[in-house]
Amino acid sequence: MEIKKTNPENLSPPIAQYHHVTVIPRDAELVVLSGQIGNDKNGNLPKDIESQFVNALENIKAILESESVNINNIFKINFWLTEDIDRNVFLEKWKEFHNENPPATTFAYVAGLANPDIKIEIEAWAAK
């Protein structure tokens, strides 16, 4: 199965690390993750958004591994943040996560999430 990630030539390139379009094969099985927050595997939630970001990415990796799905099979990811994140940390960790093959992406700031201590939630869709 090959997932196709592209940036059409008839519009400007992405302004960050993502592809404008991701096309999944017709026979792929969808794997939809609930929004992952920044708690660690023991349920501890760090105070800072950068640590929560790293943990949320690790949670996504763990879920995909449990389903035998490769990270590169993520075709859509949404980031919901309640405060600014260190841009350098974000870019470095995001690049490590997607291995220079980012999916279609949405990045948004929201007024709040399910709990005031939660500063980031990441929603991912993948194909199997």
Residue 3 pLDDT greater than 90, yes or no: no
pLDDT computed for residue 103 by the predictor: 93
Query: Per residue in 55-105, pLDDT tens?
Result: 999 999 999 999 999 999 999 999 999 999 999 999 999 999 999 899 999
* Rounded Cα distance, 55 and 58, in Å: 5
Q: Beta strand 36-37 with 120-127: parallel, antiparallel or unpaired?
A: antiparallel
Which CATH number describes the domain made up of 4-127?
A: 3.30.1330.40
pLDDT computed for residue 72 by the predictor: 92
HEC profile of 53-87: HHHHHHHHHHHHHHCCCCHHHEEEEEEEECCCCCH
For residue 8, the SS3 value is coil
Per-residue pLDDT band at 125 (split at 50, 70, 90) = very high
pLDDT computed for residue 22 by the predictor: 87
What average pLDDT does range 22-39 have in this prediction? 94
Pick 35 or 22 by higher pLDDT: 35
Query: Per residue in 110-119, pLDDT tens?
Result: 999 999 999 9
pLDDT computed for residue 124 by the predictor: 97
* Residue 36: both structure tokens together: 């992952």
pLDDT computed for residue 2 by the predictor: 85
* Rounded Cα distance, 23 and 42, in Å: 35
The structural domains of the chain, with segments of one domain joined by +, span: 4-127
* Rounded Cα distance, 112 and 118, in Å: 8
Query: Cα dihedral angle (58, 59, 60, 66), rounded to 10 degrees?
Result: 110
